[in-house]
Amino acid sequence: MRLLPDTTDVTGVRARVGPGAGNGVTASGESRIFCCALFFLIFLVPVQALEPPAKSYRFIWLVPKDVTAEEHTVKQINRSVEIVQRWFLKQTGETFRINPVEVVMGDENRDWYTNTGKDGKWNTIHNAIKEVFRKNGTFWGDKQHEYRYVVYISADGPGGANGVPRFVGLPQEDVDGVTSKQWDTRWAGGLAHEIGHTLRLGHEGDDENDVMRMGYLNLKTTYLSKQNITKMLEATTNKGWLISRVRKGSSTEWPSPGSKKDSL
Residues 136-151: pLDDT tens digits? 999 887 878 899 999 9
**35 and 65 housed in the same domain:** no
State yes or no: pLDDT of 31 exceeds 50.
yes
pLDDT of residue 141: 79
Is residue 49 assigned to a domain? no
Q: Are residues 163 and 39 in the same domain?
A: no
Q: Are residue 23 and residue 116 in the same domain, yes or no?
A: no
Q: Does residue 150 sit in the same domain as residue 221?
A: yes
pLDDT score of 49: 54
pLDDT of residue 48: 38
Q: Which residue has the higher pLDDT, 47 or 249?
A: 249
Same domain, 134 and 218: yes
Q: Quick one: 24 and 144 in the same domain?
A: no
pLDDT tens, 86-113? 999 999 999 999 999 999 999 999 999 9
| Element of type H or E holding 22 | none
Residue 235: inside a domain, yes or no? yes
Backbone angles phi, psi at 243, to 5 degrees: -125, 160
In a domain, 261, yes or no: no
pLDDT (mean) for 227-246: 95
Q: How confident is the model at residue 166 (pLDDT cuts 50, 70, 90)?
A: confident
> Do 143 and 219 have their domain in common?
yes
Average pLDDT, the chain: 81
Mean pLDDT (whole number) for 1-14: 30
In a domain, residue 264? The reply is no
pLDDT for 184: 98
| pLDDT for position 35 | 54
Instruction: Judge whether 142 lies within some domain.
Output: yes
Read off the DSSP letter of residue 136.
T
| Residue 24 belongs to some domain of the structure | yes
Number of domains in the chain: 2
- Evaluate whether residue 9 is within a structural domain: no
| Pair (113, 238) in one structural domain | yes
Residues 78 and 144 in one domain: yes
pLDDT for the residue numbered 206: 79
Q: Are residue 99 and residue 176 in the same domain, yes or no?
A: yes
Q: What pLDDT score does 205 carry? A: 76
105: domain CATH number is 3.40.390.10
The DSSP bridge partners found for residue 103 are: 61
Buried b (16+ CB within 10 A) or exposed e, 221-246: ebbbbeebbebbeeeeebeebbbebb
Give residues with Cβ within 8 angstroms of 83, minimum separation 6.
184, 188, 219
> Per residue in 38-56, pLDDT tens?
444 444 443 335 789 999 9
- pLDDT higher than 80, residue 201: yes
Please report whether residue 260 resides in a domain.
no
Query: What's the pTM value of the predicted model, to 2 decimals?
Result: 0.76
Q: How far apart are CA 214 and CA 212, in angstroms?
A: 7
**Domain housing 32:** 15-44
Same domain flag for 32 and 97 = no
Same-domain pairing of 26 and 125: no
In the Cβ-directed half-sphere of 61, how many Cα atoms lie within 13 Å?
25
pLDDT confidence tier of residue 231, bands split at 50, 70 and 90 = very high
For the cut 60, the answer to whether the pLDDT of residue 76 exceeds it is yes
92, burial (CB in 10 Å: exposed 0-12, middle 13-18, buried 19+): middle
Model confidence at 165, pLDDT cuts 50, 70, 90, reads confident
